Structure 1
């Protein structure tokens, strides 16, 4: 950056970034509770209405790296402001949609803006805050993610009940306008002249296609739309295209992704452990609501309250964990966080038909705390390990690994549950009378143990980072 920022200015920028993260996270969860109403009012079946959620996730995932690279070439301020503007325009389009096709198209527009904001948020924070404050700042953004996830379902329900489903999108408009104004007035230009102004279109098309194939195959497997004989070739095609992309990138002077980034041990191992942690969390959290409602027989309100201990604890612990990583080191915290989650998930696997609400609430809070202890220091280490001129693409890669971990965890857990319990998660509704709790718990326990093993592997990877120097990083810069 061209000039030293005052403390007030830095925290104002963090507020702006947090607003973008809150909006993007909120809109990932706020829609779910309104889907039955949308289905009824737009005369569409539930399967079709699911594309309101799926199109948003897919669009964000395929564009994260593209926006990261574009921001490294042309400057993060312009792209971040563009994200706010497009997200706000997409929200308006969603609120004015009169049919499902228009709503899905509007969600794609909204996701284009959200992906730009998500790809750049960590890069902006890492650029603005020095190493001794970066963990604390990223901890606050982590808390914002947790708050967005916590508020989304309840706020969506309140708005839909009090007004209509369109209000869950229209509420974004004043917030988006505020965010765009703050971006133009507070964020300095972060353009680095070291990058050649040449964008890798061919590589981008290959990468977007590969990611799209991977995500679609996993999402369709999760929804039981694709049989294995189609899923496996589709997945292999996506993987093959990724290898072709890597081979192509090696020969370019200005590639979409500089593969040397992955030679930085702190960066690559941090991404690996983050991926495994999100696989574990998404695999476990998708089945806990079913356990609460179908095994324990609690209503949706009580189930939501018990699960809310997870993001609530995460929101409290994330800034503290980030601050501790600034003061001491990220290494012991990342190992501690994933070790806590490993132990807690084994405890969750032991839940049964008579487990108390207090026990469940404590386990949810510990899961959220363990995840926050890991995430803030890990994000700080990943973003601190790359050169400043590549912070945009690094942030995009970090966000992509997070999304891929969540989708993979959900798809794999559904597959594991189906094979081990011989039950279909999509056919639980209305089966209270004939619900087989024993079969469910058998599959549930295998899924949770799988999640615990993923966390354990992530902890072991993080442990390897606790020895050796941070070569090639900016930690000591």
Structure 2
């Protein structure tokens, strides 16, 4: 078993999952036209991927604990690669959305087991460096997704944003099946009852939130979220009764683990809305193309890519929760800077400086937070805890999208907000100032969320670590 090769495959998996989270954004107008559909349907090419990731990550992590994390990871890579090719040949929008669901299922198998595989093959004092490298894969992938989405769509066509995954995936699948082997798995059975309840509550909450983002609040979407939240106590009750729960609830008596997991959720909720907000500002207020807007945001990704491996190694030396918390403070400062300085005529140089601060925050947070989570997770629950963390992060991403769309449509019609996001509409005159005021409110709300995340992360590091699951 070659550790370097395994980390390389894990980086590829993270990179590809990140690419396909962002690469679709700039291609949506072309997809809408080429497949003869409408904006509200084509937006599900993006939303369906996020929705399935949120629902399946916990399940895929738990299955990895039982049947083998490497097996589930490698099968996930195979499914992701196959689904990518199918997305490219989709004859209509319905097939494309369906294949994106398959692609997200493979992505969930990748994302929920990669952190657990690192924890399996490396001792605690070497994991931070590995998580830094996988974070590097995420940042590079997010940046490549934005750039490649514009380049491939412009010069080759939207189908190539999916075809590009196939040769990379084939290489990764061959290396993965050859090098990544199971180190640890449990003899527990799958928790069918808990899985059904958890899957249902995640679906109701996530789908209700997605409907609010796409169509606005309605009685049905609000009821979905309420019922989903009410199912949480039922899930906890079921997990206490079964002999082999998805995640033993006693695991979360470990304060470091709980605080780090929920800091991850709040970071996704508060910080991931920033890219959506800035793309809407740059396209809708400044009139820049989607591709040029993405280039303006690239410094943050570049800084995070450089910093993540370094901060991962620093986290290996101790206090990963504090390092993650400091990263969140940098993120908070960037949000406040946008709140204070963003106007319809803000010099681009100032925006670039703020994206630099955002990149510092991300580069510090991701590897350190992942190190803190896996260090405090019992070995038999590595996959499940990694899956829970990824699920909460994905839900945070969906809710951040809901926050963005909801706040932006306080001042402009929802269909105009979607057109701005896709780069097909530019605001003029006083309307742009009103829209920027709405963005200020979103940045302020996000900054409050990130502060709470920073407090959780720093306070969690101050708790005494104790293993509560025998």
Structure 2 length-normalised TM:
0.94
Give distance in 2, aligned partners of 1:190 and 1:329: 27
Q: Does 1:412 align with 2:407?
A: no
**Residues 414-438 of structure 1: CA deviation (Å, up to 9, x unaligned):** 333444x465423645353455132
What's the CA shift for 1:70? 0.8
Query: Counterparts in 2 of 1:318-337, with a 5 A limit?
Result: 318-337=308-327
Residue 205 (structure 2) aligns with: 214
Structure 1: 5+ residue runs without aligned partners?
none
Give distance in 2, aligned partners of 1:302 and 1:391: 41
Q: Does 1:188 align with 2:188?
A: no
Q: Choose from 183, 187, 192 the match for 1:201.
A: 192
Residue 165 (structure 2) aligns with: 172
Residue 273 (structure 1) aligns with: 263
What's the CA shift for 1:389? 1.5
Q: Choose from 418, 422, 440 the match for 1:426.
A: 418
Contact 2:407 2:439 in 1 (8 A): no
Q: Choose from 11, 14, 26 the match for 1:18.
A: 11
- What is the CA RMSD across the aligned residues, in angstroms? 1.9
Q: CA 1:128–1:318 in 2, change beyond 3 Å: closer, same or farther? A: same
Query: Counterparts in 2 of 1:58-137, with a 5 A limit?
Result: 58-137=51-130
Residue 158 (structure 1) aligns with: 151
What's the CA shift for 1:118? 0.9
User: What is the aligned residue count?
Assistant: 463
**Residues 386-442 of structure 1: CA deviation (Å, up to 9, x unaligned):** 1111111111111111111111122124333444x4654236453534551321222
Runs of 4+, deviation exceeding 6 Å: none
Structure 2: 5+ residue runs without aligned partners?
none
Contact 2:3 2:121 in 1 (8 A): yes
Q: CA 1:301–1:112 in 2, change beyond 3 Å: closer, same or farther? A: closer
Residue 40 (structure 2) aligns with: 47
SS in 2 for 1:472: coil
What's the CA shift for 1:15? 0.3
Q: CA 1:335–1:307 in 2, change beyond 3 Å: closer, same or farther? A: same
Residue 434 (structure 2) aligns with: 439
Q: Does 1:142 align with 2:135?
A: yes
Structure 1 length-normalised TM:
0.92
Q: Choose from 23, 33, 37 the match for 1:30.
A: 23
Give distance in 2, aligned partners of 1:108 and 1:414: 23
Give distance in 2, aligned partners of 1:10 and 1:251: 39
**Stretch deviating more after TM superposition (151-160 or 377-386):** 151-160
Give distance in 1, aligned partners of 2:96 and 2:285: 36
SS in 2 for 1:340: helix
What's the CA shift for 1:301? 3.9
**Residues 100-135 of structure 1: CA deviation (Å, up to 9, x unaligned):** 222222112222211101111111111112111111
